[in-house]
Structure 1
């Protein structure tokens, strides 16, 4: 089950870090490494030298062009960041021990992803906004930025600890199948279109308002049936909007 964990490195810059991540993944029994538009060469001598028995992870690493492609088939997608300021980051973060229990549960029915940003500046707000949660590792406030492989190691240690605890307790696997990331994203796009059609999501605050709606739904870990239900809601809003006479102006009817 724990092998369903996917480690996603977004635009990694340094080959040594990629190799070190492969090593720590090997330590904790993981084998799904995905690189999004990497600057670093995972097959370089430096990466191999730092991987120590994790060379097969480098050889088999999947390289993709976009974040969406990396996580399309995943159920839960959790980002990591030391920066938790602002609406997109501050509304849904927690420590590894707080966030990872639900992540471990999801692994019983399919893949889920832990996403780590590029070394110079971490993940962008737009990337974090697309995730279902945010992991923050508590560090000293004077220097909060961890080395990439250290951050991966801390998260994977807690993941393994949570997994071992569940195995020891013989917990029954959950019956809920979480809809994969790609189908959720399609639903969110459709839902936003429906909300825009009825002028609930509208104007200068549209992005922030829909982000809140998105996080509310994402926290429920919607099933495929629930995703289809939300598609139906979006279609109904589109139908209602089409029946209404044109508005005299573009002022929103709600949501602000």
Structure 2
């Protein structure tokens, strides 16, 4: 889905995403793209198999260059998380141990709260084929497990990062006050603007013989105005409609009785 817009604010904050021994550059690139989609920007790699930098990763990132360019590489997981205050480890498998296990929603809320408090946080993701080891999970503070089909729990690494990135973004919607793509607020139309629309439409229709027979013209105008005022137009919508109706004057006006005159609606109904 296309949606890149360099004129809008680029969100780049939140927890670091740490990939432990990722194998394919393409997967790293898709992770970077998922992060950029939801406002995350700090990517850390622990001993990537094919080295770094990676043109395959950059290509797969689909212009998430700010994430790729800032990516940091570490030899060990301990080094990658040394400056962080709180870390989640992601897993789809049941683990034996004493660490709390959270849902993505709770984990994202916790990360948001710690971020607001000025803490540095991170989320660990394991290898494409078999995830994190127990020793690596032991370095985290808590575990986050995705609610997936127990008989088919395998997620690729980009999907897993996408899920957590989405929950991170969603946890901050109250702070933003709206989604980044909310409709621009429009001013309600004034009655003067609405009256102007009435006049333009009625003049154009009258010139083209719409109001027939003449004795029913007042009721037809009343019905027309009722239709046009049924909903609350914005000022911009009024301008659009008046622009449409202004095109009437680009064409010759028909004789009220002549060929080509539009048929009027003979409406005797009340209201």
**Do they fold alike, i.e. is TM over 0.5?**
yes
Corresponding residue to 2:67 among 57, 69, 81: 57
Inter-partner Cα distance in structure 2 for 1:42 and 1:165: 37
Of the candidates 91, 95, 113, which is equivalent to residue 85 of structure 1?
A: 95
Give distance in 1, aligned partners of 2:31 and 2:52: 11
Of 144, 148, 151, the residue aligned with 2:160 is 151
Quick one: higher RCO (CA 8 Å, sep 6+), 1 or 2?
Answer: 1
Separation of aligned partners in 1, 2:165 and 2:135? 24
Structure 2, unmatched stretches of 5+, are 1-10, 179-271
CA RMSD of aligned residues (A): 1.9
Separation in 1, partners of 2:142, 2:56: 32
How far apart in 2 are the matches of 1:159 and 1:153? 10
Tell me the distance in 2 between the aligned counterparts of 1:44 and 1:163.
Answer: 32
TM-score scaled to structure 2, two decimals?
Answer: 0.58
Which residue in the other structure is 1:95 paired with? Answer: 103
The whole-number CA distance in structure 2 between the counterparts of 1:140 and 1:134 is 18
Matched, 1:160 2:160: no
Contact between 1:77 and 1:113, CA under 8 Å: does it hold in 2? yes
Q: Secondary structure at the match of 1:107?
A: helix
Equivalent-residue separation in structure 2 for 1:63 and 1:84 (angstroms) = 29
TM-aligned CA deviation for residue 40 of structure 1: 3.2
Question: Which of residues 17, 26, 40 is equivalent to 2:27?
Answer: 17
Using the TM superposition, give the Cα deviation of residue 2 of structure 1 relative to its aligned residue in structure 2, in angstroms: 6.6
Distance (Å, rounded) in 1 between the aligned partners of 2:150 and 2:119: 36
C-alpha distance in structure 2 between counterparts of 1:4 and 1:94, whole Å = 18
1:120 Cα deviation (Å)?
1.2
Deviation string 1:89-142 (CA, Å, 9 cap, x unpaired) is xx4112101222111111120321011011111011111111111111111112
Shift in CA distance, 126/57, structure 1 to aligned 2, threshold 3 Å: same
Name the larger-Rg structure: 2
Equivalence map 1:189-200=2 (5 Å): none
More helix by share: 1
User: Taking structure 1 as reference, are residues 32 and 104 closer, same or farther at Cα in structure 2, changes over 3 Å only?
Assistant: same
Scaled by the length of structure 1, the TM-score of the pair is 0.61
Contact 1:10 1:117 in 2 (8 A): yes
Give, in whole Å, the separation in 1 of the partners of 2:115 and 2:96: 30
2:14 & 2:157 partners in 1: Cα distance?
A: 21
**Residue-by-residue CA offset, 1:27-65 (whole Å, 9 max, x unaligned):** 112221100111134533321221001123222210011
